[in-house]
Amino acid sequence: MDRAILLVDTDLGFLFWLGRALDQAGYEAFPARTIPDAMTLLVELHLTVGLLILNCSLPGAEDFVARMRHSRKNLKVISLVGQEPLLLTPGVDAICPKPSEINDRSKVAMLRIVHQVLPNTLAS
């Protein structure tokens, strides 16, 4: 399975932090702040991602997940949620509360969820 991960969230600081944590764990993280930015990355870089981590409250998120699933059958999806109820969006493999604090504890929790969703790609 591909080790490339597409991250989609409006919080630039969070994207940088999570991207760095994933890169340090042996993945390739590609951040985007909007769904259109994510689409541009996919097309312009010809990305084949194994995992999509996105904020489910972004406009068009559900349609984007459906399109990604249609074109990439083995794609795994983690939905980031804030204060809203933890409802599983169609096409999502796992939900993850977006950390309110960026620290080592939240880094370990995020990486644990990634490893659970992508068990065959654990970084060494």
Tokens of 121: 């790609």
Confidence of residue 51 (pLDDT cuts 50, 70, 90): very high
Domain ranges across the chain: 4-57+71-102
Report whether pLDDT(5) > 90.
yes
Tens of pLDDT, residues 53-94 = 999 888 999 899 999 988 888 899 999 987 665 555 667 888
**Residue whose tokens read 């999502």:** 92
> pTM for the complete prediction?
0.88
Report the C-alpha gap between 88 and 18 in whole angstroms: 21
Structure-model confidence comparison of residues 123 and 89, the more confident one: 89
Query: For residue 124, what pLDDT is reported?
Result: 41
CB 113 within 8 A of CB 22: no
4-57+71-102, which class in CATH? Answer: alpha beta
